[in-house]
Structure 1
Amino acid sequence: MPTSFTLPAIRAEAAGLWRLAWPMLVGQLATIGMGVADVAMTGHASADELAAVSLGASIWSIILVTVTGVMMAMNSIVAHDVGAGQLGKIPRAVRQGLWKGLGVGLIAALLANLATLLFDHLYLSDTVNAQASLFVHIISLGLPPFAAYRALYGYSTSIDQTKPVMLIAIGGLFFNIAVNWLLVYGNWGFPALGAVGCAVATSVGLWLMLAAMVVWIKLAPAYRATYPFGRWEAPHWPQIKNMLHLGLPIGITHFAEVSAFGAVGLLIARYGAVQISAHQIALNFSSLVFMVPLSFGIALITRVGQALGEGNPARARFAAWVGVAMSLGFAVLSAALIVLLRHQIAAAYTSDPAVRELAAHLLLFAALFQLSDATQVATSCAIRGYKVTRSPMLIQLFAFWGCALPLGWLLGLAPAGLPWAPAEPMRAEGFWIALVLGLTIAAVLLSGSLQRLSLRRLRA
């Protein structure tokens, strides 16, 4: 295994990371593609339907990404067991992870529905309010199966079985697009449900993805050595508590970032459908691009965790920084492409001229924060490979809730009575400037944290 920073060693590690990451990348793109399809397809229905999906997605994405983070503890646990050669511990961990997923999913569904009460205070039209609330009520039914699916996802990717999650996610995307086409526009005699049709498609698709994952694990020979469904096992609260101890800080870390973006959507809703729709388009496409460094990051959890399980901190440090460099290299490319193609990207989402023009402008800020975003996600995932989750959580909370949101509130809303504020509210643009700053702060602090942690483990 390569552990020194020579060109052949870097090439070998990059190739190993890519072999693990690319199926996850395709799967992640397919999963996030369900949300992209929701926004893009309703964007060609009407501005009100797009605004409803945008607001509903603000709640949905916060809950969904937080659940993903809480369930990510499975990746670190299984990767360490694989590296240490303790395969017998994995089936029990997976079974308890599924119990944990059931509880996390049910709590998440309850919180999502309660969050719709915020819509009553956002100066929305009655139509948009009702559609956005119904969107969340229906799509939240997919949260319990999604949490269980992420437990099996973490198990599968950590034993190097990444292609199944890719194929299942692709199937889920095609199902989502097909059902959207039927229910959003009312094709083939189906009712034209608009935003509600998107929610139905996504919720049903998540149940089907869980079922497909279970069937695959039952049938594929690669899972025999760690097969988790051979026996029934009741919840074991001490083990679930230990998983939550590891997973909750990751969930809070994810929440800190995505809630900042979601809060921006809620705060600018007072400025009307054009502002919220343009914001959601820029955010939605940024989320799509973000799947590449995120896939490198998830692969890093496995690479770093397996190396540490083997007792090889030098290899863990080497893998971590090669992964960060790969993420940063992609960010340079994606930033350039977003700048060049921003008008075409906006036009693909909506036919409304005002929304299209503002979305293209906001995509410039999305291009700007690609470098910081890729760096912060890669470094934070590498740190989680060390089973360290508290420091990334504190850094993300400070960067987004301590810096980005207060500055965004100041620039975007220009509240009266403060010592200094813009003469006129900068609206969505002001919030995006603040988000760029928050991502940059997170990237710098997390890079320093990874450097100190990896050197400390190496010396120990």
Structure 2
Amino acid sequence: MNKKPGEKKALNRRIWALAWPLLLSNITAPLLGLVDTAVVGHLDSPVYLAAVALGANFFMFLYFSFNFLRMGTTGFTAQARGAGEATLVVVLRALLLSTVLGGLLILLQPALREAGLWLLGGSAEVQALARDYIAIRVLGAPAALGNFALIGFAIGLHRTSVPLKMTVLMHASNALLDFLLVQVWHFNVRGVATASALAEYLGLAGGLFWLRREIFGDAWRALPAGALRQLAPMARLLAVNRDIFLRSLALLSVFFFFTAQGARLGDTVLAANAVLITFLLLLSNTLDGFANAAEALVGDATGRHDRRALDAAVRATGRWTLMVALLALAGFALGGAPLIRLLTDLPAVRDTATTYLPWMLLLPLTASAGFWLDGVFVGATLAPQMRNTMILATLLFFPVWWLTRDWGNHGLWLAMNVWMASRGVLMALVWRRVRG
């Protein structure tokens, strides 16, 4: 049965209310790296900037691997909310898991650090400074992973303003601490790492404060006896997180390989690809807001076993995704060249990036469905299907690159677009089979 026009408008307003704080949060997320870069970029040697860049890349890939804590918590929280069950137990399990994993990262830091720096490279002086950076910043790992759990919990509760406030708090405190520790007290790279770690704990404290009604007080007293001792729900959480973790590893393998192959094509191509990846980041940060809205709405409908609401949520978030994809296509077509000029003033890099710009025009068409369906699958906690479709798409990426390697960077971008498109197609086929 079709929804009435009034119901459609109400659903669209609900989607936008969920999405806009997350859109704003995603837009401000890169500011953390910009502040760190700006602070060390004014020190008396470029090795400090290089070390922070190396360390920041290490943590970007490390923490991205644990993003399953956010996704898994969102799906289970939204389903519990829809079913009228206790949501507190979901976030407590996630916070327990994030604390354990964060502690393990601290213990395993020396081995992880050496492996990461071996892959990332850099001079001996830069690597020595990067070691200091990593050894200090990793102390914030329990808070960083705990923030994933709290953000997922907030999205599942449809309280998407909380992630925005947590992000603003972390960015503001990091900027202030950066200034004090680096510019005033001259701790250079160690100061930047300390500021980042402390900002994670301040974000965690803020998240607990803004979610205090859902975590403390009456919510704690209403917690079912023995809920945390039940093994089956924790086992399910671990299974979902395991599958999303494997999916993230497959995704990271493609981006690692893409970067490595670009480097083999020369410094200019590598730099041009780094500029062009900005287009993908802009697209993903915009679409993630609506994907997160899909997570919340699909999870809620799944928990209520409301097929009609589920189908309506999928269709409505799909329409928003299509609209954003078309706007991104127009934006890339009209503003692609000016954006390249804004991002770099090196003539060779500009010319090379402009040569490969047409591949960016395909990205809104090839990548958007995958981002949207990620949200649908997270809300429905279809983690094995997310894992399997990502692995299949990744296995397709490498033969496409191999067959087109004589095309150089054109073949690399073709493989990237095929990978994105195949992920969306595979997930759509799986969803159609799951929904019947």
User: 1:172 & 1:136 partners in 2: Cα distance?
Assistant: 19
Equivalent pairs, count: 433
Once the two structures are overlaid, the 10-residue window that deviates more, 106-115 or 277-286, is 106-115
User: 1:116 & 1:362 partners in 2: Cα distance?
Assistant: 35
User: Could you tell me which of 437, 440, 444 is aligned with 2:421?
Assistant: 440
User: 1:203 & 1:445 partners in 2: Cα distance?
Assistant: 39
Deviation of residue 54 (structure 1)?
5.6
Match of 2:434 in 1: 453
User: 2:65 & 2:54 partners in 1: Cα distance?
Assistant: 17
User: Could you tell me which of 207, 219, 224 is aligned with 1:226?
Assistant: 219
Deviation of residue 350 (structure 1)?
4.9
| Structure 1 residues 55 and 261: alpha-carbon distance in aligned structure 2, compared to 1, 3 A threshold | farther
Deviation of residue 297 (structure 1)?
1.3
User: 1:352 & 1:311 partners in 2: Cα distance?
Assistant: 56
Conserved 8 A contact 1:307-1:313: yes
Once the two structures are overlaid, the 10-residue window that deviates more, 108-117 or 203-212, is 108-117
Residue deviations 1:22-54, cap 9 Å, x none?
112222333344246556887899987776666
User: 1:298 & 1:224 partners in 2: Cα distance?
Assistant: 28
Match of 1:414 in 2: none
- Identity within the alignment, %: 22
Once the two structures are overlaid, the 10-residue window that deviates more, 114-123 or 207-216, is 114-123
Question: Alignment partner of 1:72: what SS?
Answer: helix
Conserved 8 A contact 2:298-2:313: yes
Question: Alignment partner of 1:422: what SS?
Answer: helix
Match of 1:403 in 2: 396
Scaled by the length of structure 1, what TM-score is found? 0.79
Match of 1:73 in 2: 72
Conserved 8 A contact 2:58-2:116: no
Match of 1:345 in 2: 339
Question: Alignment partner of 2:2: what SS?
Answer: coil
Once the two structures are overlaid, the 10-residue window that deviates more, 227-236 or 293-302, is 227-236
Equivalent residue letter for 2:420: L
Match of 2:406 in 1: 422
Equivalent residue letter for 1:141: L
| Structure 1 residues 121 and 327: alpha-carbon distance in aligned structure 2, compared to 1, 3 A threshold | closer
| Structure 1 residues 10 and 225: alpha-carbon distance in aligned structure 2, compared to 1, 3 A threshold | farther
Conserved 8 A contact 1:55-1:266: no
Question: Alignment partner of 1:279: what SS?
Answer: helix
Match of 1:102 in 2: 99
Equivalent residue letter for 2:419: G
User: 1:34 & 1:197 partners in 2: Cα distance?
Assistant: 14
Once the two structures are overlaid, the 10-residue window that deviates more, 338-347 or 255-264, is 338-347
| Structure 1 residues 51 and 190: alpha-carbon distance in aligned structure 2, compared to 1, 3 A threshold | closer
Q: Which stretches in structure 1 are left out of the alignment for 5+ residues?
A: 412-420
1:287 aligns with 2:281: yes
Conserved 8 A contact 2:102-2:145: yes
Match of 1:324 in 2: 318
Residue deviations 1:376-406, cap 9 Å, x none?
0211221232222111211111212x12245
Scaled by the length of structure 2, what TM-score is found? 0.83
User: 2:358 & 2:176 partners in 1: Cα distance?
Assistant: 32
1:61 aligns with 2:60: yes
Equivalent residue letter for 1:25: L
Q: Which stretches in structure 2 are left out of the alignment for 5+ residues?
A: none
Question: Alignment partner of 2:29: what SS?
Answer: helix
User: 1:329 & 1:44 partners in 2: Cα distance?
Assistant: 42
| Structure 1 residues 62 and 232: alpha-carbon distance in aligned structure 2, compared to 1, 3 A threshold | farther
Question: Alignment partner of 1:12: what SS?
Answer: helix
